[in-house]
Structure 1
Amino acid sequence: MIPARFPVSAEDIDRVVAVFYAAIRRHEVLGPVFAAHVADWPTHEAKIAAFWRNAILYERSYDGSPMQAHMRAGNVEPPHFADWLMLFDETLRRTLPADVAAAWSDLAHRIGAGLRMGVENMRPAPGGRPPILR
Structure 2
Amino acid sequence: MEHGEAEGPARRAAATAAIRARTGIDNPMIERLVRSFYDRIRADAVLGPIFAARITDWEPHLLTMMRFWSSVALLTGIYHGQPMPKHAVLPIDAAHFDRWLALFRQTAREVCPPAAADHFIEKAERIAESLELGVALTQGTLLRKGERFVREDPAPAA
The TM-score, its normalising length taken from structure 1, stands at 0.86
Name structure 2 gaps, 5 residues minimum.
Answer: 1-12, 142-158
Alignment partner, residue 117 of structure 2: 101
Amino acid at match of 2:51: F
RMSD (CA atoms): 1.6
Residue correspondence of structure 1 range 1-134 to structure 2 within 5 A: 1-4=13-16, 5=19, 6-72=23-89, 74-124=90-140
8 A contact 1:2–1:58 mirrored in 2: no
Q: CA deviation at 1:44?
A: 0.3
- Distance in 2, Cα, partners of 1:43 & 1:17: 12
Q: Aligned pair count?
A: 125
Question: Larger deviation: 26-35 or 102-111?
Answer: 102-111
- Distance in 2, Cα, partners of 1:13 & 1:124: 35
Alignment partner, residue 130 of structure 1: none
Name structure 1 gaps, 5 residues minimum.
Answer: 126-134
Q: Percent identity?
A: 33
For residues 13-58 of structure 1, the C-alpha deviation after alignment (integer angstroms, 9 at most, x for no partner) is: 0110000000001000100001111111111010011001011222
8 A contact 1:85–1:112 mirrored in 2: yes
- Which one has a bigger Cα radius of gyration? 2
8 A contact 1:78–1:119 mirrored in 2: no
